[in-house]
Structure 1
Amino acid sequence: MAGRWMNLGQYNARGVRGADALGAGIENMVTGIHSPADTDRGIAARLRYLTASTAGYAAMERAGVTVTPRTLFAWLAEERMPNAANRRRLDAAYWDLRRHNVAADLKRRLAVRGGTRVEIDPVDQTAVDRRHRRDLATRRLTVRPRHWNAAVDAWLADDDEALDAVWDDVIHDLGSDYDSYSYISSLGWHA
């Protein structure tokens, strides 16, 4: 991570690590079932999605869903409802599988036309005394496909260090003041 903001907040500046904003932005692109996991409809939809592939069964296993085939068939037939703990596990398994299934599509969407244009808003300095404020402006740049591929891979693996390295590569394109964007107030794009 770039180090210019090592004591972020010392003068009341507010922001988040750029890598965290990048990961959150990718996460927000993942859509899925809108019905909550504690409803009959929501759990039925999750079960259909998870039981449609061997990857779904693997996701359930990773999430700790361990039931007999008889119980699983009863859930699928909606004869029985999973208990609260299993509903949480099924929801976690659903989102885990969903993230893995959409990763390739995210890379494709973000790499269209040579990369996706992002807008980086600098840290919020409204509470910082004027003499300590830095002259920072909203920056716009095109993030290249190689960065997006690495960012999606790091996000999928929950690898904060790799995501931080990707963010450092991205802001390096800002020139001499890239280090001022280690922490930001927001990051936005449309893909």
Structure 2
Amino acid sequence: MAGSGAGRWTNLGHYRARGIHGGEALKEGIEKMVRGIESSVDSERGLAARLRYLTASDAGYEAMDRAGIHVRPRTLMRWLAEEQTPDRGNLARLDAAYWDLRRRNVAADLKRRLNKGGRGTRIEIDPADQSQVERRHRRDLQRGLQARDINVRGNIWDRAVDAWLTGDTQELEAIWDEIIQGSLGTDWDAYTYVSSVGWAA
């Protein structure tokens, strides 16, 4: 497949290969580790739970401010007392504020779980899907690309969680390149784009 530099797939879909950058896969994997209120913000239970969580700390009020919720204290009290329901726009902002605060509150726990006291976390990398690519254009056809299993340790996970929290896509992509360059030898560029990255933590 066409590429530049070390031969990475800079135009992944040109030959109909399917996958995402490993940095995006890292972001998705970390996001899946975050647990929170399952009830929808549109439900009475879900709304009440989010409001309790957000109004329990100064950080919650800061999250509401970041989400663009600017209402009078009286209105907020009416929401809490279930005497008034926020309009659709404020419901969406309350949900965004809740997940923003939730991510910030669990970041330290995510780092602890992924670092495992310095032992790190083992990840499985599934390469990009080449099933729809013509044989003459497939990468590394002669030896084939297979799922790879590697252990990631050091300060990588702290940096990855911080980048995920701030939405720093470039940093996540740089972290991924660092992971694969340090663990996969000369094959690393063939795993810049992947079908998925999985781990248990």
The interval holding the TM-score normalised by the smaller chain is over 0.9
Aligned partner letter, 1:5: W
* Structure 1 residues 55 and 39: alpha-carbon distance in aligned structure 2, compared to 1, 3 A threshold: same
Gaps of 5+ in 2: none
Match of 2:159 among 150, 154, 162: 150
Any conservation in 2 of the 1:12–1:127 contact (CA below 8 Å)? yes
- Matches for 1:33-112 after TM superposition, within 5 Å: 33-112=37-116
TM-score under structure 2 length normalisation: 0.92
Work out which of the residue numbers 174, 178, 198 in structure 2 matches 1:188: 198
Report the equivalent of 1:116.
Answer: 121
- SS of equivalent to 1:188: strand
SS of residue in 2 equivalent to 1:9: helix
Contact 1:13 1:126 in 2 (8 A): yes
Separation (CA, whole Å) in 2 of partners of 1:94 and 1:123 = 34
AA in 1 matched with 2:133: V
Distance 2:108 2:154 in 1: 12
Question: Separation in 1 of the partners of 2:95 and 2:165?
Answer: 17
Q: Match of 1:152, SS?
A: helix
Which residue of 1 is the match for residue 175 of structure 2? 166
Cα RMSD for the two superposed structures: 1.3
Letter in 2 for 1:54: D
Where do 4+ consecutive residues of structure 1 move more than 4 Å? Answer: none
Tell me the distance in 2 between the aligned counterparts of 1:145 and 1:76.
44
Find the aligned partners of 1:3 and 1:57 in 2 and give their Cα distance. 48
> How far has the Cα of 1:13 moved from its partner?
1.1
- Provide the secondary structure at the position in 1 that maps to 2:149: strand
Aligned-partner residue type, residue 51 of structure 1: T
Q: Number of matched residues?
A: 191
181, 184, 188: which one aligns with 1:178: 188
1:136 shift after superposition: 0.8
Distance in 1 of aligned mates of 2:84 and 2:154: 46
For residues 5-53 of structure 1, give each alpha carbon's deviation from its aligned partner in whole angstroms, at most 9, with x where no partner exists.
0121222211111100110110111110000011111110000000000
- How far apart are residue 2 of structure 1 and its match? 6.6
CA–CA distance in structure 2, aligned partners of residues 3 and 37 of structure 1: 46
